[in-house]
């Protein structure tokens, strides 16, 4: 049970103290509450310990700093651009994120409604008959009663609880908007990565087909030699075994390519039936360069960091509300209306009655509810402080890893290209020597395996390089930027300029 101490005053023509004097008294009582109910600033947690001064892995000197909003365009694939446009319009996860923004906006509206008076109107009509024991309602016989009334109530937000709740809802709305941007960035990156994977699997399937054609060419030579008695059936069995192994891997590659196309269709928000990708390989796709800029700027360019920042600000507003809930609450009420036994005279002056007043309520005992609510809000804020710091540190780690992936894959790709050229030449020489009887089949098989393994590995590395570039664009925020006016966390350099 909650016990409360009430201070109530009614104002009418029969009171002895003037209305202005009572409102002056109310103002004096309210002043301390206004001072105690002020909003406080969210805790500032961007310490130098979690903010690096530079990125350890650099980018090309000519690379543009930070990605553009349409960062996928420089890859040079119109089909990819069309797929991303379709995904941004039809992806269901993105649609759900947009709905969550609408939900958060409605929740802010619900909280904001408490800043305004609530007004109700009521109309009533009664047909009253006296009981056998007599009448206590003024009617000695059957009579009618009509009424029309209106009432208004207003919780004066002297404590700041309502304003804190509105701030919390506003920050939650910001969080939902930032989360929507984070989902859009993830979906865009997933479309690009899956599209590249489809093309890489198609190229790897083509390599397997080329390998099979080469094996069949060698098989023709072996069969002629077996018929002439110059080769054994061992050579024939070895090459046939090689053929079956490559054919099996080709089947798995086709299955993986089909699964990737299905995944891509789902990302677009469409059923996979009859969905096709026109491009057949990675030819012509070039990872565009990009630089990471200053580490401090990353805080403004990652929607997931902005989301964690807004969540922390919302939790702090909830903590302000929990603190303010210990203060007294002041409410104003007013009622007025008409009552009559005849509807024809209902709206005449003698039928009108009204009153208004104010109530000041202070909780004295609630079983510890307010204390525990404050403890919960404090713990929630501490949790979100840790989550915000984690989001910042992980963002920097993400950029570092992406920069290293791009640099490493680019270097390895150059080495593999030279390996493929050398392996192709070695295989051509081995085939010629085998046809001339100058080398054994084992040398041909080794040269063949080296060539096609290197080509397959080079295709996978091409894919890794493209996807590393996508990862870097995603890690750098994909061209998104937070409005500085919405920030609640600041580095020391920014605070010094404010």
pLDDT tens per residue, range 193-226: 999 999 999 999 999 999 999 999 889 988 988 8
Most confident of 24-28, 158-162, 167-171, 238-242: 167-171
**Average pLDDT of the segment spanning 407-417:** 94
* Ramachandran angles phi, psi of 72, nearest 5°: -80, -15
Tokens of 292: 């990471």
Q: Which residues pair with 128 in a beta bridge?
A: 143
Tokens of 445: 């098989």
The DSSP call for residue 175 is: H
Cα separation of 166 and 450, whole Å?
67
Of 194, 191, 202, 190, nearest to 282 (Cα)? Answer: 202
Tokens of 353: 């009655």
Instruction: Band the pLDDT of 9: cuts 50, 70, 90.
Output: very low
Tokens of 320: 């302000």
What's the CA angle centered on 39, arms 38 and 45, to 5 degrees? Answer: 145
Of 145, 105, 121, nearest to 342 (Cα)? Answer: 145
Question: What are the E-state strand segments in 167-216?
Answer: none
Cα separation of 255 and 471, whole Å?
25
Continuous H helices in 229-331: 233-268, 303-324
Tokens of 47: 């310490």
Q: Domain map of the chain by residue range? A: 45-116+160-325+366-497
Cα separation of 204 and 255, whole Å?
12
Instruction: Band the pLDDT of 15: cuts 50, 70, 90.
Output: very low
What's the CA angle centered on 78, arms 74 and 83, to 5 degrees? Answer: 105
Instruction: Return mean pLDDT, the chain.
Output: 87
Question: Cβ–Cβ contacts within 10 Å for residue 134, how many?
Answer: 7
pLDDT of residue 442: 85
Taking 90 as the threshold, does the pLDDT of residue 136 lie above it? no
**Tens digit of each residue's pLDDT (9 = 90 or more) over 422-479:** 999 999 999 899 888 888 888 988 999 999 999 999 999 999 999 999 999 999 999 9
Residue showing tokens 């939650």: 172
Q: What is the percent of the chain where pLDDT is above 90?
A: 62
Q: Which residues pair with 154 in a beta bridge?
A: 332
Cα distance between the two ends of the chain: 49
**Tens digit of each residue's pLDDT (9 = 90 or more) over 340-398:** 766 666 666 667 788 888 888 888 888 999 999 999 999 999 999 999 999 999 999 99
Taking 60 as the threshold, does the pLDDT of residue 20 lie above it? no
Q: Please state which of the ranges 68-72, 145-149, 297-301, 316-320 shows the lowest mean pLDDT.
A: 145-149
Cα separation of 110 and 116, whole Å?
11
Is CATH 1.25.40.10 correct for 45-116+160-325+366-497?
A: no
Q: What is the CA radius of gyration of the chain?
A: 38
Q: What is the percent of the chain where pLDDT is above 70?
A: 86
* Ramachandran angles phi, psi of 26, nearest 5°: -60, -40
**Average pLDDT of the segment spanning 276-283:** 95
**Average pLDDT of the segment spanning 300-304:** 96
Q: How many CA atoms lie within 13 A of 19 on its CB side?
A: 7
Which stretch of DSSP H or E encloses residue 148?
strand 143-156
Residue showing tokens 């809930």: 325
Question: Cβ–Cβ contacts within 10 Å for residue 68, how many?
Answer: 14
Taking 90 as the threshold, does the pLDDT of residue 299 lie above it? yes
Of 306, 358, 290, 274, nearest to 179 (Cα)? Answer: 306
Cα separation of 279 and 259, whole Å?
16
pTM: 0.84
**Strand, helix or coil for residue 450:** helix
pLDDT of residue 12: 35
């Amino acid at each position: 049970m909650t016990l409360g101490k009430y201070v109530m005053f009614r104002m009418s023509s029969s009171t002895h103290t003037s209305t202005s004097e009572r409102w002056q008294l109310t103002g004096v009582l309210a002043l301390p509450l206004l001072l105690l109910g002020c909003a406080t600033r969210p805790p500032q947690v961007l310490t130098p310990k979690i903010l690096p001064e530079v990125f350890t892995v650099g980018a090309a000197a000519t690379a543009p700093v930070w990605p553009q909003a349409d960062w996928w365009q420089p890859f040079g694939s119109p089909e990819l651009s069309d797929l991303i446009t379709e995904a941004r319009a039809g992806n269901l996860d993105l649609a759900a994120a947009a709905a969550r923004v609408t939900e958060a906006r409605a929740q802010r509206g619900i909280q904001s409604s408490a800043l305004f008076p609530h007004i109700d109107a009521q109309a009533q009509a009664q047909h009253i008959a006296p009981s056998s024991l007599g009448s206590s309602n003024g009617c000695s016989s059957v009579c009618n009663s009509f009424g029309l009334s209106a009432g208004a109530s207003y919780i004066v937000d002297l404590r700041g609880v309502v304003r804190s709740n509105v701030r919390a809802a506003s920050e939650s709305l910001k969080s939902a908007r930032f989360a929507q941007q984070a989902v859009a960035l993830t979906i865009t990156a997933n479309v690009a990565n899956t599209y590249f994977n489809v093309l890489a699997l198609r190229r790897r399937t083509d390599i397997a087909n080329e390998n099979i054609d080469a094996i069949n060419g060698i098989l023709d030579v072996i069969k002629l030699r077996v018929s002439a008695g110059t080769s054994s059936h061992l050579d024939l069995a070895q090459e046939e075994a090689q053929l079956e192994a490559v054919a099996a891997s080709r089947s798995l590659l086709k299955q993986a390519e089909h699964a990737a196309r299905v995944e891509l269709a789902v990302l677009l928000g469409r059923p996979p039936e009859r969905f096709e990708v026109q491009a057949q390989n990675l030819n012509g796709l070039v990872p565009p360069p990009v630089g990471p800029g200053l580490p401090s700027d990353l805080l403004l360019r990652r929607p997931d960091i902005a989301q964690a920042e807004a969540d922390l600000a919302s939790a702090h507003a909830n903590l302000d509300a929990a603190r303010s809930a210990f203060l007294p609450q002041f409410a104003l009420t007013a009622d007025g209306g008409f009552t009559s036994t005849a509807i024809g005279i209902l709206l005449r002056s003698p039928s009108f009655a009204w009153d208004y007043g104010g109530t000041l309520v202070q909780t004295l005992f609630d079983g510890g509810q307010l204390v525990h609510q404050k403890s919960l809000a404090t713990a929630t804020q501490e949790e979100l402080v840790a989550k915000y710091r984690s989001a910042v540190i992980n963002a920097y780690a993400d950029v570092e890893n992406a920069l290293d992936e791009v640099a490493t894959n680019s270097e390895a790709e150059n080495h593999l290209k030279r390996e493929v050229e050398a392996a192709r030449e070695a295989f051509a020489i081995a085939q010629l020597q085998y046809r001339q009887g100058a080398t054994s089949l084992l040398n041909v098989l080794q040269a063949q395996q080296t060539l096609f393994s290197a080509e397959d590995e080079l295709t996978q590395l091409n894919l890794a390089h493209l996807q590393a570039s996508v990862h870097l664009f995603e890690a750098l925020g994909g061209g998104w930027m937070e409005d500085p006016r919405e920030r609640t966390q600041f580095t020391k350099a920014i605070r010094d300029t404010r």
